[in-house]
Amino acid sequence: MTFLSARPTGLPCGQQPTIVGAVTELSDITPEAYGVGARFTLSVYDSDYVSIILGALKAADPDGLEIETDDISTWVTGSEQRVVSYVRDVVAAAAASGAHLSVALMLSRGCPAGMTCELPSGVRAIGADPVVLEETGVRARAHWSLYPLLDGGSEGDHLTPILEAIERAKAEGVYDGLDHGATRLDADLARVLETVANAWIGVGDVVQHVTTHVTISINSPGAPA
């Protein structure tokens, strides 16, 4: 069993861009400064894993992104659309090998640990446009969890955004059931990533710090028909 850790070329946690003091314009805060990014590990269950992983990374377009890969994972930072598109391209390229693979992906936004942001007065969070991805022809099954992190107090509703995201997954035909601690998704890789990312972005309209985690399985010999 082998694994790939892909981490966008962002700065190490302790060196993340920091905004000190209040800003007056939302345009002053870039996605990178707001902590928008993905950390993922790609595991390929094939003896040719090195070639598959390196080929997948080479096939993905890094334009507009900062990407940093170490021995554990890969961190990618940039706009939500570019970050999720990059993950899709890496995973789809690896899946084209036909090998069984899994992906552990975490998306985060809203000044997570190691960063400091002070939003303009009266602004609770910064939204973003939904991501739109071209289908890949790759079936993906996944376990997904969404975490609205209402930092600084208990005001707000943690559960409602999660339940609304699950209902959207049902409406989109991506929902495949509930398992312990996770929602099961089953669809084209692009649809799975859209569901995960757009729930993350949607909750981020009202909650500053939001993370979401998904474990994706592709080409599994044990997958149901």
* Predicted confidence (pLDDT) at residue 7 exceeds the cutoff of 50: no
213 vs 156, which has greater pLDDT?
Answer: 213
> For the whole model, what pTM was predicted?
0.86
Confidence of residue 151 (pLDDT cuts 50, 70, 90): low
Nearest to 56, CA basis, from 36, 46, 64: 46
For residues 23 and 59, the answer to whether their CB atoms sit within 8 Å is no
Sheet holding 37-45, edge to edge: 4-6, 37-45, 100-109, 209-218, 139-149, 182-188, 175-179
**Residue 214 to residue 106: CA distance in whole angstroms:** 7
Mean pLDDT of the chain: 85
Query: What are the domain boundaries of the chain?
Result: 4-218
Arch. (CATH architecture) of 4-218: 2-Layer Sandwich (3.30)
| Tens-digit pLDDT profile for residues 123-144 | 878 889 999 999 999 999 999 9
- Dump pLDDT digits (tens) for 49-61: 999 999 999 999 9
**What gap in Å lies between CA 210 and CA 206, rounded to an integer?**
10
For 80-123, the pLDDT digits (tens) are: 999 999 999 999 999 999 999 999 999 999 876 566 667 777 78
